[in-house]
Amino acid sequence: MAVSNKLTARQLKAELARSHPTPKIISDGDGLYVRIRPDGNASWFFAKKVDGRRREMGLGSVTSIDIDLARELAGGVRKAIVQGRDPFADKAASKREVKHSPKVPTFGEFAEDYIASVEAGFRNAKHVAQWRSTLKTYAAPLSKVRVDEVTTDDVLKCLRPIWTTKPETASRVRGRIEKVLSAAKANGHRPRESFNVATFRGHLDILLPRKKTLSRGHHRAMASKEAPAFMAKLRARPALAARALEFAILTAGRTGECIYARWGEIDEEAAIWTVPASRMKAGVEHRVPLSGAALGVLATLRPENPTPDALVFASKGKPLSNMALLALLRRMDADATTHGFRSTFRDWAGEEAGHHSREIVEMALAHTIQNKAEAAYRRQTAVERRRALMADWADFLREGAASGRRK
């Protein structure tokens, strides 16, 4: 029986790190080899004698194909041979067909077709625009490359310039490239057995520098003890953005949840704001108990007989921009972001209002709970317990730390 799986990932890594003045071929056994060239490039190939003639088939670059996948691909070739097929001829024919086919689109062309085919499933038009904008801007090196010829190096050309300077954007771009390439494979534009070269885990994460751990500075949060004084200054400002920010802080809401709030979502009699699933990060409807202070913000803005779909924080009928609240914080010289106030709320709940359970605080933040027992508890909603939590939060923001310790 042929010996297989002779190489270890550590041995392979060591060989790749060494200098090789001449090409070196290393066997993993049972027909699978890796060829390391003097320039440092390395690739997998399968070789076997068939009908007395040595046949060879390339399986891909070591940077694109890890050792486990290479073994899986080699196993597929061996299986085809046992079944009486000629995988070497099949692959050569497939290459000729793809090479001469005028139907294979470029990455840019296919990306546009893909987005158009799925845009009906996006939450809003802004998300569609973001997809198109990020791919056009940051995946420009791929735009003219045929989608079946996109390599790991092509993807890295897009990501390396922004990987550490714009980490959040880079992650989104990588994920979107990965989806486009997966769709291209599903549509027959990339080989069915091909590896997705935009895969992160076990592939790009090895080739890209490790990102710095995001600190609180990513969503800069104000210390809870500073929040009451800040809120006093905020309440003194007459701008619409100030009311939207005040409401967001009082409800521990996200920017998008708040600036797109509509009067039909507000039940002032029950003091409940129901945020639809389409606007929630977790895609689940969220019921927010409104404190007296939050209702007070709404009372200053409520027009006579508003229609259900009318925006609460409307400027000439249009919603505030996503940057409006952040711009206000900058004008106020506050070293914090809107999202950071959710961390302020959670810190306050742990430090000053420990009598509220962690589950209730997580529910107030609309966080997805992985633990099944906690998730079942959450489905009961516990609105009244959250109502007490939000009332304590509002009192704290108005009166300071003493109110937060109220039992």
CA distances from 86 to 55, 80, 89, 93, 97 (A): 10, 7, 6, 11, 17
If you average pLDDT over residues 167-178, what whole number do you get?
A: 90
The long-range contacts involving 320-326, CB below 8 angstroms and separated by at least 24 positions, are 320/240, 320/241, 320/244, 320/259, 321/259, 322/255, 322/256, 322/259, 324/241, 324/244, 324/259, 325/241, 325/244, 325/245, 325/248, 325/255, 325/259
The long-range contacts involving 98-102, CB below 8 angstroms and separated by at least 24 positions, are 98/148
Instruction: State the pLDDT confidence band at 217, using cuts at 50, 70 and 90.
Output: very low
Say yes or no: 245 and 325 in one domain: yes
Q: Which of 339, 384, 386 is nearest to 358 (CA)?
A: 386
How far apart CA 321 and CA 237 sit, in angstroms, is 18
If you average pLDDT over residues 240-253, what whole number do you get?
A: 94
Question: Is 2 contained in some domain?
Answer: no
| Count of domains forming the chain | 3
Q: Running DSSP on this structure, what letter comes out for residue 201? A: I
Q: In degrees, to the nearest 5, what angle opens at C-alpha 363 toward C-alphas 172 and 397? A: 95
Q: Is 150 exposed, middle or buried (0-12, 13-18, 19+ CB in 10 A)?
A: buried
How far apart CA 121 and CA 115 sit, in angstroms, is 10
Question: Is 61 contained in some domain?
Answer: yes
Say yes or no: 232 and 288 in one domain: yes
Strand partners, 287: 274
Is the pLDDT assigned to residue 97 strictly greater than 60? Answer: no
67-92 pLDDT, tens digit each: 888 888 888 888 887 888 877 777 66
Select from 100, 124, 157 the last residue of a domain: 100
Say yes or no: 243 and 172 in one domain: no
Select from 207, 240, 255 the last residue of a domain: 207
Q: Which of 395, 92, 62, 398 is nearest to 202 (CA)?
A: 62
Task: Look up the domain containing 17 and give its range.
Answer: 9-100
Say yes or no: 227 and 362 in one domain: yes
If you average pLDDT over residues 347-352, what whole number do you get?
A: 81
* Residue 111, C-beta contacts closer than 8 angstroms, at least 6 positions apart: 135, 139, 180
How far apart CA 13 and CA 277 sit, in angstroms, is 47
Is the pLDDT assigned to residue 142 strictly greater than 50? Answer: yes
Helices and strands of the chain, counted as H and E runs = 18, 9
Say yes or no: 276 and 259 in one domain: yes
Angle between helices 240-251 and 324-331 (to 10 degrees): 100
Mean pLDDT of the chain: 83
Two structure tokens written together for 15: 């060989």
Question: Is 4 contained in some domain?
Answer: no
Instruction: State the pLDDT confidence band at 316, using cuts at 50, 70 and 90.
Output: confident
16-67 pLDDT, tens digit each: 888 888 888 999 888 899 988 887 788 889 888 877 788 888 887 887 788 8
Residue with the larger pLDDT of the pair 270 and 371: 270
352-373 pLDDT, tens digit each: 666 778 778 888 887 765 554 4
Q: Which of 120, 162, 113 is nearest to 139 (CA)?
A: 162
Say yes or no: 131 and 82 in one domain: no
> How much is the pLDDT for 216?
41
Question: Is 135 contained in some domain?
Answer: yes
How far apart CA 242 and CA 196 sit, in angstroms, is 46
CA distances from 337 to 88, 89, 123, 340 (A): 58, 60, 24, 5
DSSP one-letter string for 274-315 = EE-GGGSTTSS-EEEEPPHHHHHHHHHHPPSS--TTSBTTEE
Select from 41, 75, 100 the last residue of a domain: 100
Question: Is 88 contained in some domain?
Answer: yes
Is the pLDDT assigned to residue 397 strictly greater than 80? Answer: yes
CA distances from 141 to 147, 156, 342, 364 (A): 12, 10, 38, 43
> How much is the pLDDT for 402?
42
> How much is the pLDDT for 369?
53
Q: Which of 393, 396, 387 is nearest to 273 (CA)?
A: 387
Strand partners, 288: 273
CA distances from 107 to 35, 133, 179, 185, 196 (A): 29, 15, 12, 12, 14
Is the pLDDT assigned to residue 243 strictly greater than 70? Answer: yes
Which range, 50-54, 136-140, 374-378, has the best average confidence (pLDDT)? 136-140
> How much is the pLDDT for 376?
47
> How much is the pLDDT for 312?
93
Say yes or no: 223 and 196 in one domain: no
Question: Is 213 contained in some domain?
Answer: no
Of 106-115, 117-126, 227-236, least confident by mean pLDDT is: 117-126
> How much is the pLDDT for 2?
64
If you average pLDDT over residues 142-155, what whole number do you get?
A: 92
Say yes or no: 244 and 309 in one domain: yes
One-letter amino acid of 43 = S
Say yes or no: 319 and 396 in one domain: yes
Which range, 192-206, 289-303, 369-383, has the best average confidence (pLDDT)? 289-303
Q: In degrees, to the nearest 5, what angle opens at C-alpha 67 toward C-alphas 26 and 99? A: 90
Is the pLDDT assigned to residue 405 strictly greater than 60? Answer: no
CATH number of the CATH domain containing 267: 1.10.443.10
> How much is the pLDDT for 400?
63
DSSP helix/strand/coil, 38: coil
Say yes or no: 249 and 374 in one domain: yes
Per this entry, what is the length of the chain?
407
Say yes or no: 229 and 342 in one domain: yes
